[in-house]
Structure 1
Amino acid sequence: MPEKQTLNMQGSSATRKERSQSFLDRSERKFHELIESLPMVAVQGYNRNREVIYWNEASRRLYGYTREEAQGKLLEDLIIPDSMRDGVIKAHTDWLERNVGIPSEELELKHKEGHLVPVYSSHVMIKQDTGECEMYCVDISLEEQKKARAELHRNAFFDDLTELPNRRFMEAELTVRLAEASRLKREVAVVFIDMDNFKLINDTLGHHQGDKLLKAVSDVLKKEIRGADLLSRFGGDEFVLLLFDFDGPEGIHELLRRLIDALDRGFTIDGDYFQVTASFGVSLFPDNGTTSAELMGNADAAMYQAKETGKNSVCFYTPDINDRLTHYQDITTLLRRAIASDTLQLYFQPQIDLVNGGMDSCEALLRCFNEHGQAVSPADFIPVAEKSGLIHRIGNWVIEAACRQLKAWQGTALGHMRIDINLSGRQLNNPRLADEILETLQRHGLTTSQLGLELTENEVFGSDNGQIRQLERLKRSGVHISIDDFGTGYSSLVYLRKLPVCSIKIDRSFLHHAMSNDSDMAIMKAMITVGHTLGLTVVVEGVETEEQDILVKNLGCDLAQGFLYATPRPAAQMPAFLAELNA
């Protein structure tokens, strides 16, 4: 080959190498420019000895070291926590010597200031088979994702208002702790806490103030419990406290007494002082249940028992509490169905004029029947109606049913009849009660004198000014108002003089005892005298014998009611009774 041609070929080969090297240099520059321009991707390069040879700006923002500070430093001295140091060195060695790659994964690496930085880390090895091999780590910060996860976890398991664990967290934790307690033969206590009359605060002052008060209550409870205890907000004004280490029921009671005392100190919210109390129900593992559902249900039942026995107290679960709760739920269901299907009934018991023997009026008595047609005692269903809040719907039904019956009797021998219905103290809280009663009478084309209202002594004597004004309006309109069970409450005779009532009904217990007890006889005479002195009609209940009939007539009672004259009966039987009475 000619020398000139050989030189040309050699020159061409050298030119190609130069061009190739120039291309590689440009590619490397572009690569560095690219990774430098990625603001969220931290890239670090390390040689085979794990010394830093490259450190981009994003690495400085992520780990705190400048390029100059990082250059030449060992990987494990910069960003590797002590607990990971040996593992990182081994993984790098295995990659170099055995070609075992380092998997991509989520890690927590060390910042210059010492705290951990969550990242997703990937690794690339370049020129692995040469003495110039380089490892590049590509790290993406997971800080925002971690914050988002923490926020999701907080929202899922913690209450926004009180910052306490929520119901979901508490139930999951209880399940875990019960398994542990079962294995270790230990006790666990579940305490259901419900604020007393909190709905009244919300209704009176608004939910904003109510929320502030709930937050203050939760802060006090958190402060008083022990470190091992778990307090959660179950929902609304209800809290659940889990106790894992205690010295028997006495130890639990001592702790809960401390909580009661702390709440008793009261709260000042925006300058307003609030006195709040709570009722506590306790169930114990394993005595009162072995599952979270059983223990929660039984603690809830015990809490309701605490409310029934006066509130602001502690009640431990017993099996009979569950029986009462089941009975309560059965009666509530029965009442709801009866209201929905309009199967409640009114029975009527005549009130007899003791002077002429005629029927002056009749009392409407509510009757409820179960699915077998058996009557449920009012002593059972009336308290349930009061506690469940169904008394309002039932009370409205009674007013409407009584007016319908009066309308049906118009034009008959019973057309002059007045029906007296029993009014609950809860109904008296309705600010539109007078309006609703008068509107119902007008809608049925009735006169106000055809309807009477009976309230127990404690209910009417405990009325506030607004409730009394409603009674005064009804009385002025012509509605007959009577105090039922008179003598069994804590009445004031001065207060009686000021009340808008037309009659008093002496409780049957006085008549029963007056037959053999001089003290009761004296009290009964005094009540009749006071009633007449105040211009009230005096009615006596529970007349069952001829001797009692003679006594109440001799004492000067105006009207009487009892089985001697008539038992409560359906409306369909009233015409026949009246005809027999007048025969």
Structure 2
Amino acid sequence: MNNKALKYHFVSFFILATLFFIITTLSTHLASPTRYTIDKTAPVYTHTAYRIDDTESLTLKEFLSEPKKLIEQPFEYIEWDLAAKDYWLKLDLENRQSKAIDLFIHFDNPMVDYLTLFELDADQKLIKKTRLGDKVTGLNLFQYSTPHALLTLQANEQTTLVVKIDTVGISKTPIKIYGKNEFQHLIRSQVGIWGIFIGVLIMAALYNLVLFFGIRDRVYLIYIGYIISALLLMGSVLGFGFYLWPLSWQLFFNEHVVFSNYAIAFFTVAFCTMFLRYHKDNCRLYKLSISFLALLFSFSLISFFMLEYHSSKIFFALMVPLYILCICMIYKKLVSGFRWAKFYVMSWVPLIIGAAVQPLELTGFIPYSFATRHLFLIAILCEIVLMAMALADRVRYQREKALYHATHSQQTKLLNQAMLKQAYMRMINEHRNANLCLLKIEQFNALMSILNPTQSSHIITTVAKSLEHQLSKQRQFISLESSLDTAPKVADLGNGILAFVSTKIQPQDELNEELNTLCKQLPKQYQISGLDLQLYYRFSITEPVENDGFDSWLQRGYLGLSQKHQNTDTTAPHIDMDLSLAVSLQHAIRSNSLAIYLQPIVNLRTGTIVGAEALLRWPSADKHLDIEQLILLAERTGLINELSLWVIEKACQTVAKLNQQGYYDHTISVNLSAKNLAIPKLIEKIENSILKHGVSAAQLKFELTEFALIKNHTDMVRFVNELNKLGSQVILDDFGTGYSSLNYLVNYSFSTIKVDKSFILDLTNNETHQVIVKTAIDMAHNLDMNITVEGIEDQTTEQLLIKMGADQGQGFYYSKAIPFDEYLSLIATHSK
């Protein structure tokens, strides 16, 4: 972590400590007022007893006349239940001091339907009757939100209070008696917490509404729905809802408080689903969550027509699968690496604690206090704050993700052209010169036709990783993204092209040498699905130009690549092949399952067979397999070099077999492509194969197409000269189909020209082709070259070519390509 980031982290921790100090100070002023009830602050003594009426028919007179049926215990031991019952509570008060005292009796359940307070004198005669509850009309907001009654107890006076609780909802009603000051402190603490809760939730809702209008993400609306549901629920449970809504509305919310529970549960599941982006996955958990949301919605509507104590039991039963579902969704995302889910996971901790404490307090497992009474409210407050942090973290992550996608390749996750441009602009601002270096994986577009996107991307990342390792050893190659610890130096420009930048001022020859060395260190093979792909590279260097723009800088780099080697990927014919066929081909090469068939070449003057062209065949493969497409597949997968070496080896072996039969003047022609030049020490390997089988180099001929010459003129001239020095003859194949045939005849030392069959198939009927062929024959003879004509299919064409002076012929008129044994029989027949 850099110093700047560390400084900001220190500031954030300081702010957090300050806020924590404020919260702690506020908490001390809002200390639990339930610790200061009248029995602890004044000489007022109480005695409690209660009775539960399952019949709901008990009257005050009957209650007072049957004292033996009372349970003489504190009210904390009452077994409150969600059922149709009346609860009668008796409270005897005795003021043992010599002055009167005002007492406030607080009934901490603003959702109770009917609460009747009977005040009796020492003779059990009714003095005063007070009615409270949300079904009672005529009360003020304070009495609805905080049910209470004022009682003045004279000096040394005894009085009896009887409380009747009749409700269809939560029946538990903690009763606390306070002095005037203590009651005021209770109200102050209660209103303070309510104000904080309401203020935070309203601000959170407004802020997220602004975010929704800015981002248009539905999850913010669901979050606002959760906040409003929390206000509805806690407004009914704690009573502050009477100050948020019109009185008739809040009375309605109290009557149907279970609906508010369903609402907050509904938005909890919906938020979990949307926040964790399950709606994008459409997986089983998403479908399950949608079904569960429909179930919650259905039961929430049913709750309007059920008694509260029945619908509450159904709701609490549904909470178990709700928690299980949400935990499963959270867990699945966590294990899949959802970085921004941590705050959301933390938000469930206070919710689970608060949701557990509330029913435990209502059922009496946890003693009632001001803190436990408001713990669920605090838990929701903490949860909403953490959820807001989770949403903010989600926005930050999405922003970083958008920035990452803008600066990185989607497939390879490497830096892209945008980061290369950024580095270029940085160097311009710093007035630094730089050389753009582009490295291309040869025939990458061709490879993509048989590999899936993942496999193609993995090839690039493998090469880029190796290149990155080599560049890291040299400081002249700059980092394109210096803000990261990894400081990558390589960018992916697509189509198998990688870019990096050198800032060292040096002659281009030196940089060329360095890049050549780098290329030699890169992977030569890539193994995939059992196939060893051969990888070859080319590079270009673009020097800086004054007042040059990035686009021009990059364009000149691309031009350098195309000038170094003409890119033919886009002109190659389409083939419908897959990787399994390439794997089978490689296995066939290595298991010697391929074969070379021989098509005879005939001396047109004598009619004898003087040689043959070696043509590849795959006897065990599908009979409909096109050999030309097979050759193209080999080129695209890098198998062409391995295949060509196999053919050369088999050709030498065939020449040796012919020599054993006494045909020492017989020659075998082998086809080579421009890609074969990439075979390391190719001439040396040809010579080794010739020596291995003990044949003469003159018996091995090599056919090169004009297209191969176009691709790499300089290297091909050197290659032809080396073959001639070895003693082998070189044939210019497919003569007439290229672009610069006459130029090639001057620059290359060819022994023979082979006229393409496209000029021969209709030779007898096409006068133009007759002129072309005759001209080629005369030109070859004048240049002291032989000429071979392929595509002869009838005697008339043969006689016409003999008349024109052609030296050798090849075609179906003599024979198609046949196995070696049949070829021997054919030679013997022609020799007789």
Say which SS state the counterpart of residue 273 (structure 1) adopts: helix
Say whether residues 1:53 and 2:30 are aligned partners. Answer: yes
Structure with max Cα Rg: 2
Say which SS state the counterpart of residue 484 (structure 1) adopts: strand
Distance 1:165 1:76, change over 3 A: farther
Counterpart residue identity of residue 617, structure 2:
R
Kept in 1, the 8 Å contact 2:412–2:460? The answer is no
Report the Cα offset of residue 266 of structure 1. Answer: 8.9
Distance 1:375 1:439, change over 3 A: farther
Say whether residues 1:351 and 2:601 are aligned partners. Answer: yes
Report the Cα offset of residue 307 of structure 1. Answer: 7.2
Distance 1:572 1:308, change over 3 A: same
Counterpart residue identity of residue 805, structure 2:
G
Report the Cα offset of residue 383 of structure 1. Answer: 3.8
Q: For residue 273 of structure 1, what is the aligned residue in structure 2?
A: 557
Counterpart residue identity of residue 30, structure 2:
I
Say which SS state the counterpart of residue 581 (structure 1) adopts: helix
Report the Cα offset of residue 42 of structure 1. Answer: 9.5
Report the Cα offset of residue 420 of structure 1. Answer: 0.5
Say whether residues 1:507 and 2:750 are aligned partners. Answer: no
Kept in 1, the 8 Å contact 2:597–2:617? The answer is yes
Report the Cα offset of residue 346 of structure 1. Answer: 1.0
Distance 1:162 1:454, change over 3 A: same
Kept in 2, the 8 Å contact 1:161–1:211? The answer is no
1:196-249 CA-to-partner distances (Å, cap 9, x unmatched) read 58999998995777624249999xxxxxxxxxxxxxxxxxxxxxxxxxxxxxxx
CA distance in 2, matches of 1:431, 1:575: 34
Greater displacement, 456-465 / 523-532: 456-465
Residue among 194, 200, 219 paired with 1:79:
200
Say whether residues 1:450 and 2:693 are aligned partners. Answer: no
Q: For residue 547 of structure 1, what is the aligned residue in structure 2?
A: 796
Q: For residue 491 of structure 2, what is the aligned residue in structure 1?
A: 211
Mapping for residues 126-165 of structure 1, pairs under 5 Å: 129=368, 135=374, 137=378, 139=382, 162-163=407-408
1:136-162 CA-to-partner distances (Å, cap 9, x unmatched) read 547599699889989999999997784
Name the structure with the higher strand share. Answer: 1
CA distance in 2, matches of 1:512, 1:216: 41
Distance 1:52 1:451, change over 3 A: farther
Kept in 2, the 8 Å contact 1:45–1:54? The answer is no
Report the Cα offset of residue 528 of structure 1. Answer: 1.0
Distance 1:145 1:215, change over 3 A: farther
Report the Cα offset of residue 424 of structure 1. Answer: 2.5
Report the Cα offset of residue 364 of structure 1. Answer: 0.8
Counterpart residue identity of residue 778, structure 2:
T
CA distance in 1, matches of 2:495, 2:831: 68
CA distance in 1, matches of 2:784, 2:25: 107
Distance 1:163 1:41, change over 3 A: farther
Q: For residue 183 of structure 1, what is the aligned residue in structure 2?
A: none
Residue among 708, 733, 742 paired with 1:459:
708
1:22-81 CA-to-partner distances (Å, cap 9, x unmatched) read xxxxxxxxxxxxxxx99999995899xx997279xxxxxxxxxxxxxx988822255332
CA distance in 2, matches of 1:86, 1:159: 37
Kept in 2, the 8 Å contact 1:468–1:499? The answer is yes
Distance 1:368 1:468, change over 3 A: same
CA distance in 2, matches of 1:550, 1:420: 24
- Percent identity over the alignment is 22
Report the Cα offset of residue 96 of structure 1. Answer: 8.2
Greater displacement, 71-80 / 347-356: 71-80
Say whether residues 1:367 and 2:617 are aligned partners. Answer: yes
Counterpart residue identity of residue 528, structure 1:
I
Say which SS state the counterpart of residue 422 (structure 1) adopts: strand
Kept in 1, the 8 Å contact 2:730–2:750? The answer is yes
Report the Cα offset of residue 573 of structure 1. Answer: 2.5
Distance 1:96 1:160, change over 3 A: same
CA distance in 1, matches of 2:497, 2:642: 33
TM-score, normalised to structure 1, is 0.55
Report the Cα offset of residue 493 of structure 1. Answer: 0.8
Distance 1:463 1:215, change over 3 A: closer
CA distance in 2, matches of 1:442, 1:156: 62
Residue among 560, 565, 571 paired with 2:809:
560
CA distance in 1, matches of 2:758, 2:494: 46
- Unmatched segments (≥5 aa) in structure 2: 1-15, 33-190, 206-223, 241-253, 273-342, 414-442, 449-455, 469-487, 499-548, 562-567
Mapping for residues 208-287 of structure 1, pairs under 5 Å: 211-214=491-494, 267=551, 273-274=557-558
Say which SS state the counterpart of residue 414 (structure 1) adopts: coil
1:446-503 CA-to-partner distances (Å, cap 9, x unmatched) read 3322211112222224433123212221222112110112122223313321013221
Counterpart residue identity of residue 554, structure 1:
K
Mapping for residues 411-422 of structure 1, pairs under 5 Å: 411-422=660-671
Kept in 2, the 8 Å contact 1:45–1:134? The answer is no
Q: For residue 659 of structure 2, what is the aligned residue in structure 1?
A: 410
Q: For residue 538 of structure 1, what is the aligned residue in structure 2?
A: 787
Mapping for residues 518-529 of structure 1, pairs under 5 Å: 518-529=767-778
1:509-557 CA-to-partner distances (Å, cap 9, x unmatched) read 3234332333222211111121122221111122333333332222222
Distance 1:369 1:474, change over 3 A: same
Kept in 1, the 8 Å contact 2:445–2:496? The answer is no
Q: For residue 399 of structure 1, what is the aligned residue in structure 2?
A: 648
CA distance in 1, matches of 2:691, 2:393: 63
Kept in 1, the 8 Å contact 2:717–2:747? The answer is no
Say which SS state the counterpart of residue 30 (structure 2) adopts: strand
- Unmatched segments (≥5 aa) in structure 1: 1-36, 56-69, 109-116, 169-193, 219-264, 278-305, 312-320
Name the structure with the higher helix share. Answer: 2
Q: For residue 738 of structure 2, what is the aligned residue in structure 1?
A: 489
Q: For residue 682 of structure 2, what is the aligned residue in structure 1?
A: 433
CA distance in 2, matches of 1:310, 1:412: 42
Kept in 2, the 8 Å contact 1:161–1:215? The answer is no
Kept in 2, the 8 Å contact 1:76–1:85? The answer is no
Kept in 2, the 8 Å contact 1:349–1:364? The answer is yes
Kept in 2, the 8 Å contact 1:528–1:556? The answer is yes
Counterpart residue identity of residue 200, structure 2:
I
Say which SS state the counterpart of residue 87 (structure 1) adopts: helix
Kept in 2, the 8 Å contact 1:344–1:368? The answer is yes
What is the RMSD computed on CA atoms of the aligned residues?
Answer: 5.5
Distance 1:387 1:213, change over 3 A: closer
Say which SS state the counterpart of residue 618 (structure 2) adopts: strand
Kept in 1, the 8 Å contact 2:460–2:496? The answer is no
Q: For residue 423 of structure 1, what is the aligned residue in structure 2?
A: 672
CA distance in 2, matches of 1:215, 1:540: 40
Kept in 2, the 8 Å contact 1:46–1:135? The answer is no
Distance 1:562 1:273, change over 3 A: closer
